[in-house]
Amino acid sequence: MTTLQEIRKQKDEYFKMDRNSPLTGEQKASFAGLNYFDENPALRFELDLEFLTTPREVILQTSTGDEQEYTHVGQVRFPVNGEEAVLQVYENQYGFFLPFVDVTAPGETYGAGRYLEPEDLGGHRILLDFNLAYNPYCAYNERWSCPLPPLANRLKVRIEAGEKNFH
């Protein structure tokens, strides 16, 4: 079993069994696992994080109309099917945060977007692995309030990696 398969298996177990799962009791009763794209090594990048000269506080709207504060720290550039894509990177007390929407939404992936938590590799480099892209909890249960990707993070390319629609 690959590392990615193990991560996905553990997540399915968490969703099915843990009391902190975003699923309702009724959803857990019929839960057979999340849906994913096959692993796509072409969508795993070690990238230079182009830091802003002066990071700035930003407010991201949430799925319930609330607001959450993040620090906009910079951006990354990467190729997808011969096109350059650019995404803005944010940070909070938990680390880097990258909410995005691509053209697989809403047909194949959650319409409001997916999330990544890029790994800091040091030296202004990050690991951006779209195979780890996941749906926010509000994709499973509307009681959750989830930050929505800003317009700058709406890609015009397909990101065929990571988690697909729940239903």
Does a structural domain hold residue 158?
Answer: no
Find, among 142, 133, 112, 134, the residue nearest to 22 by Cα: 142
Q: What is the pLDDT of residue 2?
A: 75
Residues 58, 104 within the same domain: yes
Residues 25, 89 within the same domain: no
- Residue 94 CA to residue 7 CA, distance in Å, equals 19
Find, among 72, 91, 64, 85, the residue nearest to 130 by Cα: 85
Residues 12, 56 within the same domain: no
- Residue 49 CA to residue 40 CA, distance in Å, equals 22
Query: How much of the chain, in percent, has pLDDT values that exceed 90?
Result: 97
Instruction: Name residue, tokens 């990238």.
Output: 47
- Residue 163 CA to residue 110 CA, distance in Å, equals 9
Structural domains counted in the chain: 2
Residue-number span of the structural domain to which 66 is assigned: 37-153
Does a structural domain hold residue 163?
Answer: no
Q: What is the pLDDT of residue 32?
A: 95
The pLDDT mean for the chain works out to 96
pLDDT tens track for 65-124: 999 999 999 999 999 999 999 999 999 999 999 999 999 999 999 999 999 999 999 999
Instruction: Place 7 in a pLDDT band, splitting at 50, 70 and 90.
Output: very high
Residues 75, 106 within the same domain: yes
Q: Higher-confidence residue: 1 or 139? A: 139
Residues 4, 47 within the same domain: no
Does a structural domain hold residue 161?
Answer: no
Query: How much of the chain, in percent, has pLDDT values that exceed 70?
Result: 99
| 3-class DSSP assignment, residue 128 | strand
- Residue 133 CA to residue 116 CA, distance in Å, equals 5
**Structure-block tokens of residue 143:** 């009681």
Residues 47, 121 within the same domain: yes
Instruction: Place 166 in a pLDDT band, splitting at 50, 70 and 90.
Output: very high
Q: What is the pLDDT of residue 1?
A: 58
Q: What angle do CA 41, 42, 47 make, to 5 degrees?
A: 100
pLDDT tens track for 40-65: 999 999 999 999 999 999 999 999 99
pLDDT tens track for 86-99: 999 999 999 999 99
